[in-house]
Structure 1
Amino acid sequence: MARRTVHIPDDLDDRVEDYGGLHDSYSGLVQEALREYLDRRENGAETLETAKN
C-alpha cells in the first residue's frame, strides 16, 4: 500500500474524528471515505457516459 502525507483543513479533520468510533483508526476512516468517493465518482461517470450514447 502506498503511503502519502496529506494535509487537510482543520474543520475536515474534526469531522473525520467525530465520524469514527474509539476503535476505528484515523487512516482507515480516511481510506474508506476516499474509496466511497471514488466509487461514486466512477459510477456517476459511467452513468453520464451511458446517457450520452
Structure 2
Amino acid sequence: MTLEQLKASLRIPVIAAPLFIVSNPDLVIAQCKAGIVGSFPALNARPIEV
C-alpha cells in the first residue's frame, strides 16, 4: 500500500496515540476498523510476568 492509498482509505487524518498499558492489539484493531491509524507501544509487548 502506498502512502497515497493509505491517506485515501482513512476517514479522517487521525493517528491514535500509543498509550502505555492501555493500548493492546484489540484496541489497535478497533482503531483501524474505525478508519484511523492505530498504534501500539513496543513496551506493551513485554511478558505479563514482568
Q: What's the TM-score, normalizing by structure 2?
A: 0.27
Relative contact order: is structure 1 or structure 2 higher (C-alpha 8 Å, sep ≥ 6)? 2
Q: What's the TM-score, normalizing by structure 1?
A: 0.27
Larger radius of gyration: 1
Bigger helix share: 1
